Structure 1
Amino acid sequence: MFKKPATNVKSWLLSNSDRRKLRDELIKRFPELATYETKQGEQNISILPDRIHRANITTYNDLHGMLYIEEKNPTWFRFDKDKREILVPSVYILWRFPNMLPKIPTFGPVISKLKGGANLMIPGIAFPPEGLPDVGEGEIVSVTIRGYTYPLAVGIMCVPTNTLKPGSVKKGIAVQIIHIHQDHLWSMGDKSQPPEDEEIKIDSVTQDQELEEIADDTIEESSETSDLHAKTKTNVQAYDEEQGIEGSYEEESEIKNSEIEKSTSKYTTAEVDNLLQASFYQALLKKLTPSGTLPLTSSQLYSAYILPSRPVGTDNDVDVKKSSYKKITKFLKAMEKKGAIKLKEQRGDTLLVGVKWDHEELKLFKTHKTIEKASTSAAKSQIQNDDISSDSNNIDQIKIIEVYMPKGAIGELFQMQEKRIDEVYEYKEISKIILDYVTSHDLADKKNRRFVIPDAQLCKIFESKKGEPVPDKMTRNDLIYHVQSRMEEYHSVTLPGDKHRLKKGRPKSIQISEARRMGNKVVTIIKGLEEYEIDPKDLIEPLKKLCASSVAVLQSPNSSPKKPLSELMVQGPQTKQVKEYLVSSIGFPEKYIEIIKLKSKDKSGGKKG
């Protein structure tokens, strides 16, 4: 309703008689307000000040309404200038009288979606232990984060609360949002923040991991209707019929998701469910153990424990999004129903707080070789690309992975995260370890979660011999980059026949160059083949046919008796053909083929005479 600024705002001071009428109307409509004056009268708390202004407004979608303003803050509003229409409180009033409306709790990440113009859906309700308040369809309610006192939005209840139960699969709009903290109605006031805003981190829930835990069907974009208080339908199907929409948003999303899964996964949904459960049990038995640190958030458990525990060769296909659960929280709740674990809800997050180690399925579970154990990174890469290798003309691909080994202060940080310091890690693994460290040590900047405030351990990593100061804060990407750049460089090479090599330093490229020789002839030279155990002599006949030219093996100028090296020389400008052959027939990664333009060896520039 207030996605954009209102216009035609003209205000005047309310007369004493109109003020008394307004107060009587408020007391009659919201009886809870009278208790504030009665119980706390000694503090001179009044629901209306002596001076209050009234203003006519027009919203951006041409809806005419009326505002009541105290000093700078809009406190009450109604539309269509209908004096019989009920008044709606703003968040400024709700923060002053937090219990004047029934509260519908939701999860922290959902609030950020509601601020984008969405309605609160039934799956987005965070049912409190005491249950929901008794509210009928069409009544005004406030919306807040579960466990937090102060409302953050106000709206109309679209379905009676006595029909809503925890764990229900019922869908549809729960609350049609009218006004929310940080919309343009709020901006018309002094822009003050809700009490304890910093403590509950209302606006700080921006990490992709946390948002992924909230189901897509917890919210739905609100419709722009000219009649705000038209009777709201009680389910998505009726709502869509009213708007002339065939089929619901949720049904369409589920159909599209299922079609994508069928086309991209080599496992059925049931098989993914079983593999996900096996990965979960493996993580409990081998990575968590009874002495492991609890509680763990669902995102930490999934990214740092379950995903690395997937069976070898399944990592691209075993994903909670491809399972019947769709979300990690739903999967964990299913495991809790089996009695294997104990969960706890805390401010919109699901925490693993206990494991039943004597559970029958855990005792009978047979462990497997995991993705994590299969690596030193090169082995992991081989597994991840098995399908690509088999589809590329049955050619064994040569795989090169840049990896890094922790040292010094970085090694200490890795050990704090229970990681080995005598192993190598890919960039994405380093990223996950660093972000887990930031999360577990609460290093995110409270004002802007994109930034990290280095603690003593991170400062130790960034200390310079030149005494350069450590930045007060840095972005997450910069933090990961700087940590990785201070690690020892290695690269793993997987050769045909599953031969794995781990070498220190950055990987060397195969160099292809063209040069002019005597008589202005052009030749193409290939160097660096032997670095990857490619015998130059094996390429003579294939390149002769491909390039329709003569090919010769020459001793490299950089060769030595202890380490003889060769290079291939192909007559003519054959760079494109040679590169294509190395990629498609040899299986060498294009990324590590370097094209070099060399100067002519003929000092006369190839001129005769």
Structure 2
Amino acid sequence: MFSRAFRVRSNTAIKGSDRRKLRADVAAAFPNLSADQLTEFIPNKEELNVIKIYSHKGEAVTVYTNNKNPILFEIERALYPTVYTLWLYPDLLPAFSTWPPVLQKLAGGADLMLPGVVVPSSGFPQVEQGTLCAVTLLGNRAPVAVGVATMSTAEMLAAGMKGKGFAVLHTYMDHLWEYGDKSYPPTLAPLVTGSAEKESTEDEEETEGTEPGSSSTDPLQHVDIGDLSLKEALVGKEELSENRAAETAQDASTEEAEDSRTPQEQMDALFNQCFFHALKCKVKKSELPLLTSTFLRSHMFSCCPAGQQLDIKKSSYKKFSKFLQCMQHQKILQVKELNKGVESIVEVDWKHPDVRAFAVPEGFASASSAQDSRSEEREQGYHAPEIIPLYGVSTKMIPLFQESGHKKGSILSSSEVRNIIINYVKANELVDETNKNFVKVNAILCDCLLDKSEQDEISSLKWDDLLSRCLERLQPLHQVTFYGQEPVVRKGNIEPIDITIAQRSSNKKVTIIKNLELYGLDPQCVANILQQKVQASATITPVPGTKDRVQVQIQGNQIHHLAKMLLEEYKLPRKYVQGLEKAPKLGRKK
């Protein structure tokens, strides 16, 4: 319901009489609250507001806030708690647990399907259809979503845990959560009795001497350090101490011998360990933007402990992009798709509690020495793409290329086109016997390469003219290969980075740079770097006439600085940068 931005209609303070009525309504809706909790929840003197909003679907919703934090929302006279409320009273609603990667789907507006619900060893809470429920993540009792059960517990089990389980109304990370102070979920351990803890410890000791096939795979029977590391990646509170991170690293080195987690949980924990290790010790701010593939291969792989190997397919994420999205939701980093299929890490929060709390495992160099060892690689964060012009066989050129086994749409390089033409000329004996620099034009060459006005006048062509005419009549394409990415073939010729100088009011000049995205460059990062170098204001504006293209605009004629950055630092070929000739001429000093 709040996955998209809503519109606020009014925001007013609650009067004393309305406050008492709200307290009575809350007591009726949530009888589990004690009198003291009810007074704490709806206080007598603290600031309470009622906000009337319209959701993106046009639904009228009433939101109640306490000190500007949403605590309740009301739809058709039914009250629902927000995640801020459930973090204070986690047992207010019956709770169902799901896997951490599911959170990003719920925050995007998806409902919770039953295959994504974790079945605990103690069984589900008994609920009926329409019961208001909370959703938690495995290993943390703090709710992250509020939803309504679409079927009873008995019906869920009878359906084989298939189908929609809960209609989700509100989640952590949605726009209602953003309306508050944007705090993170607290760390609340699952409710485990003393006897259950003792049995879990005994079972853990017994599994050391049993066969792998006989060990329990129930994720809730062993909520160990791997689950906690997943939780840490998702919450990010200062209370996550360095001791826990140190235990994570120590357990990772011996997990093969004594870890009772499933292989998927172990791989999730390994990915989290290598991720935080790479951020803390390998990546520097000067390397950003950093291709996600480079981050995985050159940074995370080098942080993997000896004898272990990262394999995203064996994790619960399945794709590295989904793992990074999960980290992005926790405000640890920011990933942008600079172009289709090209993602880069553009920002990292090195002050994030999870990054600061991580302790480097024994056997690895310290953070400072690891960073020093990469000092020579600072400028390798960006690699200029490899661009190869290609040609597609058009309908008009099919007769010329069908003898070599090609058809319409076949993609060829310039050298392949040249070889095909040479072989065609030799196979049909079209080389002029009197002057081998010329090729005789037969009927096929005439139809494919000559205009109608030329067909009666030209009987032979020079080799260079023949090849250039052929390339001109083929469909232009180009292949772009970004560092660490698969090649991408696109239609047309690649547009160069276009630099222009525009005149503004009061005879002021601005430099405008377009098409940076085509070369794997983030316009915002380029603007920030330029702003620091030239100490001038830089902004990002949409390119007129386009929907999803932007341009960098910076005060003054800054072409000299741009040329140095693009050609010398980023190593882009000169032919792909247009407008450098407009640099200001340097006058003589008097």
TM-score range, shorter chain: 0.3 to 0.5
The two structures have a TM-score, normalised by structure 2, of 0.40
The two structures have a TM-score, normalised by structure 1, of 0.39
